[in-house]
Amino acid sequence: EDQVTQSPEALRLQEGESSSLNCSYTVSGLRGLFWYRQDPGKGPEFLFTLYSAGEEKEKERLKATLTKKESFLHITAPKPEDSATYLCAVRTISSGSARQLTFGSGTQLTVLP
Amino acid sequence: EAQVTQNPRYLITVTGKKLTVTCSQNMNHEYMSWYRQDPGLGLRQIYYSMNVEVTDKGDVPEGYKVSRKEKRNFPLILESPSPNQTSLYFCASSLRTSGSFTDTQYFGPGTRLTVL
């Protein structure tokens, strides 16, 4: 069974204090790893897709990386507006062409001014 | 504006009273899906639809029904809601899903359902 585990569950940072969120996965053949941002009371908003180990993608203060067992979302010099829950999801061989995504439980990030 | 809309956004109901949550997308997406989100359990897929008149079960389909009569709409039906269906529900859509790649899913704003 495909499993996705995110850590930590919650993270509090001071503004400007860089850190990383972790998404580890145990799957039967990865076909894509996705990062989403979710603000309170809203639906998840797409950030990145990574397909193969060694791949990296960046957007503003966020950088996502992928290895064969895990993905990291690095946040450089975060600002209070980066506060949100960050979700990781995978699509795998066992997902088939239709079921698509298995989500982790998320990391709730709070950036204090 | 490209978007996925859901209605209602908030709903409080009682056990056994049938309800429908609507979902509509204006992006001409083929694929649509319903998820529920519960604390500590993440997003779990309820049902999905590959195209008009094509639907299938996700991971937690019990107690739910769906239909896809039009490409843009994908309503979620609870025939006899129970308290364990109290949750936050999201509809999502994507252009297609084929081969080894998945198009980006776009999520609606969510529907918070409370069943008393």
Nearest-CA distance B84 → chain A (Å)? 19
**pLDDT interval class at A10 (50, 70, 90):** very high
Share of chain A above pLDDT 70, in %: 93
| Region for residue B18 given its phi and psi (left: phi exceeds 0; alpha: psi -120 to 50; beta: otherwise) | beta
Mean pLDDT of all residues belonging to chain B: 91
Nearest-CA distance B10 → chain A (Å)? 11
Q: Is the pLDDT of residue A31 over 90?
A: no
Predicted confidence at residue A83, as pLDDT, reads 97
Taking residues A11-28, what's their average pLDDT? 95
Predicted confidence at residue A97, as pLDDT, reads 52
Count CB atoms within 10 A of the CB of residue A88.
31
pLDDT tens-digit profile of A56-101?
Answer: 999 999 999 999 999 999 999 999 999 999 999 988 766 555 556 8
Predicted confidence at residue A99, as pLDDT, reads 58
Residues of B in contact with A106 (CB under 8 A): 42
Predicted confidence at residue B100, as pLDDT, reads 44
Q: Shortest CB distance from B97 goes to which of A36, A51, A97?
A: A97
Q: Is the pLDDT of residue A32 over 80?
A: yes
Predicted confidence at residue B95, as pLDDT, reads 81
Q: Shortest CB distance from B109 goes to which of A42, A89, A100?
A: A42
Interface contact A101-B45, CB threshold 8 A: yes
Please give the residue that has the higher pLDDT: either B113 or B98. Answer: B113
Predicted confidence at residue A100, as pLDDT, reads 65
Residues 6+ apart with CB under 8 A from A95: A2, A31, A101, A102
Asked if B35 contacts B74 with a C-beta cutoff of 8 angstroms, the reply is no
Predicted confidence at residue B40, as pLDDT, reads 82
Q: Report residue A12 as tokens.
A: 């509090």
pLDDT tens-digit profile of B37-71?
Answer: 998 888 999 999 988 998 989 889 999 999 999 99
Mean pLDDT of all residues belonging to chain A: 91
Q: Is the pLDDT of residue B9 over 90?
A: yes
Asked if A90 contacts A2 with a C-beta cutoff of 8 angstroms, the reply is yes
